Structure 1
Amino acid sequence: MATTKADPDTGMAPRELKPGQRTRVWVASLDSDTPELVHETSDILLEAPNWSPDGGSLLLNGDGRLWRLDLGTEAARPVEIPLDGVPAINNDHVLSPDGEYVYLSGMDGHLYRAPRTGGPGVRLTGDDGTLHFLHGISPDGTTLAYVEIPRGVDGAPGRLALMPADGGSGRVLDTGDGHIDGPEYSPDGRWIVFNSEAFTTAPGHAQLVRLPAEGGPVERLVTSGTVDWFPHLSPDGRFATYVAFPAGTLGHPEDLDVAVHVVATDDWSTPLRTYPLFGGQGTLNVNSWAPDSRRFAFVSYPLDGR
């Protein structure tokens, strides 16, 4: 499959499978220790599944494009969702609460909105000197939560910002020192959960936290020796998933031995399920819970010999 070229302004480009590497898309259930392999391919590197509102398919990005993978059919293959006027996208995309739209992060560092089933897209962010990486939308569909990073500043930490879902200027919330990523609203709209490096002195040691959606003190959700990224809450708010990287990891790189953890939100310290895998980047970047709050999807990237 042809690769989309890097964006000329940001240098960002879609990831590719390495020789001997495969994409495996999994669906796990709270009722089973064994996840189900729903798709495997050596043709394209797919990332970051969202679950469709009807529970029948997953939306994933790959090669800078958006794809739909129908579930319940053994021979199902990804079908491209055409997005007119939207540049190559990365793995930061979310669905509107009503399922009508998909909000996307472009490789150009801007945010876009398009119909979930395909069609014309619209750019939502202005030229404000920052890169925008989308992760959450409020339950009422009015506000986007994203990470803001200054353009052209190497090593600048990401900051939590909010903006109207119809477009406009963003406002930054105070989350203290240290890089943050993965901001996502709780289903009741009261909280924003994310990972933050503000609670430790070890470089890159991200931990899971939350703060009130209107701003306020940041609360650590769990203390761990792993580098924890991308907390995602189930639609009923009772459970969460996240990906744990080895201690000492900087950022959320690809091709590492990591683990996807499932916890109850009243006890983040005790995983209910743990799924070890080879992956990291692309495995669980966005919320991948099914509407029934009992299943979720994730992606691994095994290499020959592993």
Structure 2
Amino acid sequence: MTNETAQFGGQWTSRLMIFDLEDRISTPVLETDFEIAAPNWTPDGSALIVNGGGSLFWVDLEAPELLEIDTGLCINLNNDHGISPDGATLYFSDHTYGRGALIWRQSLDGEADPEQVTEKRPSWFHGMSPDGQWICYTAVREGLFGIYVAANDGSGEHCVIEGGHHYDGPDFSADGAWIWFNSDRTGASELWRVRPDGSGLERMTQDAMVNWFPHPAPEGDAVVYLAYPEGTVGHPPMMHVELRLWRPGHPSETLVTLTGGQGTINVPSWSPDGGAFAYVEYAE
């Protein structure tokens, strides 16, 4: 990463926030005129990583500022990225080379050039298994959206579930036994889960909201997700949305109402201890 703080300007203000689950309080970490998105929490709990303008930025929680991460010749990253459980490897999606994103990885310290992970495009990184051996991602193959799993080096790609509808936001459960995702396979987008081998498909929400990007907590069964108003198409930015919590045996509850959507919580953003999660909100 570089020691240069990015300079920005624009119509919207981005606020990087942390929500404490026990106290039910949101605390601002950083505010910028640049449109940042999709925070990850580093496994040691010391920093967040966000996307903005095709780049990734490191935000130290002790001295928060945007420090650009050197991703070599990959200069057109979107907001699908994550960190291996051991904290050593950064995964991201980039579409610098041709149409459609590919998944890449590099050491988090930036000492080596990025290495291409997926051979086929488009592929959008979303999560890793708790043991760090597998990645899960959204892909389009032969015109169909689907949820895919591969080894952490991209080998052994296999489809978990696909179809003529939209499939997005896959993320492993804390025990690695399930992959959560969102799909509009029965109408409006709802949350689902499925075993990594494609068995045991279950619908996990059924309400009037349009639900996206489920992220299971690193411990236990809680899942935080993004909920759009009824009738929303896709996952647009700059809308009145909610961050909600799913727990088994309880109705989903709203934790935060905000202006956001695309970019707010696209990627896994729980703190390592599961006591908080990071998100981005926007204001004019």
TM-score by length of 2: 0.90
SS of the residue aligned with 1:35? strand
Alpha-carbon distance, 1:66 to partner: 1.1
Partners of 2:215 and 2:107 lie apart in 1 by 23
- Confirm or deny that 1:269 pairs with 2:238: no
Determine if contact 2:59/2:67 at 8 Å carries over to the other structure: yes
Work out the CA distance in 2 between the residues paired with 1:35 and 1:72.
17
- Extract unaligned runs of 5+ from structure 2: 1-7
* In structure 1, distance between residues paired with 2:128 and 2:45: 19
Q: 1:251 aligns with which of 226, 234, 243?
A: 234
1:51 and 2:38 correspond: no
What CA deviation, in whole Å up to 9, does each residue of 1:268-289 have, x standing for no partner?
6331x42111110000000100
Q: Report the more deviating stretch, 174-183 or 227-236.
A: 174-183
Q: How does 1:108-257 map to 2 (within 5 A)?
A: 108=96, 109-119=101-111, 120-126=113-119, 128=120, 130-150=121-141, 156-168=143-155, 170-175=157-162, 177-200=164-187, 205-257=188-240
CA distance in 1, matches of 2:172, 2:242: 23
Q: Counterparts of 1:157 and 1:38 in 2: how far apart (Å)?
A: 39
Q: Following the alignment from structure 2 to structure 1, what is the Cα–Cα distance between the partners of residues 91 and 10?
A: 32
In structure 2, how many angstroms separate the alpha carbons of the residues matched to 1:177 and 1:86? Answer: 31
For residues 246-285 of structure 1, the C-alpha deviation after alignment (integer angstroms, 9 at most, x for no partner) is 1111111111111111232x136331x4211111000000
Q: Contact 1:55–1:290 at 8 Å: present in 2 too?
A: yes
Q: Distance in 2 between matches of 1:281 and 1:148?
A: 18
Q: Which one is further off, 50-59 or 31-40?
A: 31-40
Partner of 1:96: 84
Structure 2 CA distance for partners of 1:180 and 1:190, relative to 1, 3 Å? same
The answer to whether the 8 A contact 2:104-2:115 is kept is yes
What CA distance in whole angstroms lies between the structure 1 residues aligned with 2:250 and 2:229?
18
Aligned to 1:35: 26
| 1:169-198 deviations in Å (ceiling 9; x for gaps) | 522123555211001111111100000111
Letter in 2 for 1:37: P
Match of 2:273 in 1: 292
Aligned residues: 272
SS of 2:161's equivalent in the other structure is coil
Task: Give the aligned partner of residue 94 of structure 2.
Answer: 106
**Which of residues 280, 283, 287 is equivalent to 2:264?**
283
CA RMSD of aligned residues (A): 1.8
Tell me, what secondary structure is at the counterpart of 1:297?
strand
Compared CA separation, residues 268 and 183, structure 1 to 2 (3 A)? farther
TM-score when normalising by structure 1: 0.84
- Cα deviation for residue 140 of structure 1 reads 1.9
The correspondence of residues 78-97 of structure 1 with structure 2, limited to 5 A, is: 78-97=66-85
Q: Cα offset for 1:59?
A: 0.6
Q: How far apart are 1:150 and its partner, in Å?
A: 4.5
What's the offset of the Cα at 1:149?
1.6
C-alpha deviations, 1:3-56, integer Å up to 9, x for none?
xxxxxxxxxxxxxx98431010100011223300111011x2111000011111
Identity %: 34
**CA-CA distance at 1:86 after TM superposition:** 2.4
